[in-house]
Amino acid sequence: MNTCCCNYDDYRETTDWLLSHTEQRPKVAIICGSGLGGLGDLLDNKTVCHPNGCSYVHWAVPGHEGQLVFGSLRGRQCVCMQGRFHFYEGYNIHTVTYLVRVFFLLGVETLIVTNAAGGVNGSFNVGDIMLIKDHINMPGFAGQNPLCGHNDERFGVRFLCTSDAYDRDLIALAKQTAEEQGCSTFLQQGVYCMVAGPTFETVAECRVLQLLGADAVGMSTVPEVVVARHCGLRVLGLSLITNKVVTDYASEEKTNHDKVLETTRRRTQDLQRLVSHLIAKI
């Protein structure tokens, strides 16, 4: 049974610990995907926190630094989560989303989630940035939804509408910002599908994802988005297309994490520029 292992007091304790370690009171939170932790390096007046006093806070995946960075970005107080929890590491779904509720209690109003993803849409190129307009929650189909279990009304309603999971105004603002920053030539928009991982997809699975209408696939993001919306946060999602999925049995191409990180390194500055200028407009 998918039972929550933490309660409101746990979230409150972590929140109070963080508030006692920084003078920043962020309104924007950024979750940095694989290799995208450099977003936190853009902050001014930084305070780096390692809330390891909470047993839920631990990262172990290459490309994820595993810390919270508080600071200001173009005049906006922000917190960057450099690294994230992953379902495939053995964490339950409530631990994966733990810090999102902490962000809500900190006073965060807008969540920007980033990830590295495989391109399912054949028209996408490696290095494209995809604005997430919707998602397909594969683990959720199998009962792994972070809202399963007792619902605490202090966070949100029992039955959450997710047809508006990704804020349309923020998407429009991101498009405008991309145009201004010269990023529009590699900006896409589409549907992100989350799978549990840690294996990359088989050829048959990739073909199924295409039939389902997915444009990109990854192993994160959706649980955090669901919890953020449950708490009433506005959400913007960005996927960096680091590879194209394999849909041909004759192909010799193989996806691996090192290639994902290499593509991320090449496009990092563009993504950072887009996000930082976007935050200035929020």
Beta bridge partners of 72: 44, 77
Task: Give the CATH number for residue 215.
Answer: 3.40.50.1580
How many residues in the chain?
A: 282
Beta bridge partners of 71: 78
The residue ranking higher by pLDDT, 184 or 170, is 170
Q: How confident is the model at residue 278 (pLDDT cuts 50, 70, 90)?
A: very high
Residue 154 has which token pair? 């202090």
> What's residue 35's pLDDT?
62
> What's residue 168's pLDDT?
97
> What's residue 213's pLDDT?
97
Query: Do the domain assignments include residue 231?
Result: yes
Instruction: Give the angle 178-170-220 at the CA atoms, nearest 5°.
Output: 90
pLDDT for 123-154, tens place per residue? Answer: 999 999 999 999 999 999 999 999 999 999 99
Q: Give CA 44 to chain center in angstroms.
A: 22
Which single residue is written with the structure tokens 């394999």? 246
Query: Do the domain assignments include residue 188?
Result: yes
Query: Do the domain assignments include residue 126?
Result: yes
Query: Do the domain assignments include residue 1?
Result: no
pLDDT for 153-178, tens place per residue? Answer: 999 999 999 999 999 999 999 999 99
Q: Which residues are catalytically annotated? A: 34, 64, 86, 88-89, 116, 219-220, 243, 257
> What's residue 55's pLDDT?
43
Residue 141 has which token pair? 């189909």
> What's residue 59's pLDDT?
45
Look up the domain containing 159 and give its range.
8-281
Expressed in percent and rounded to 5, the helix, strand and coil fractions of the chain are 35, 25, 40
Who contacts 184 (Cβ-Cβ below 8 Å, separation ≥6)? Answer: 175, 178
**Does the pLDDT at position 3 exceed 60?**
no
> What's residue 7's pLDDT?
87
pLDDT for 224-264, tens place per residue? Answer: 999 999 999 999 999 999 889 988 888 877 777 676 677 77
**Does the pLDDT at position 61 exceed 70?**
no
One-letter amino acid at 232 equals: G
Closest CA to 239 of 249, 227, 225: 225
Query: Do the domain assignments include residue 2?
Result: no
Q: Which of 34-38, 163-167, 274-278 has the lowest mean pLDDT?
A: 34-38
For helices 98-106 and 8-19, angle between their N-to-C axes, nearest 10 degrees: 60
Query: Do the domain assignments include residue 61?
Result: yes
Does this model's pTM top 0.75? My answer is yes
Helix H, strand E, coil C: the string for 82-96 is: ECCCCHHHCCCHHHH
Across the chain, mean pLDDT equals 88
CB 189 within 8 A of CB 171: yes
Query: Do the domain assignments include residue 3?
Result: no
Closest CA to 197 of 82, 87, 97, 54: 87
Structural domain count of the chain: 1
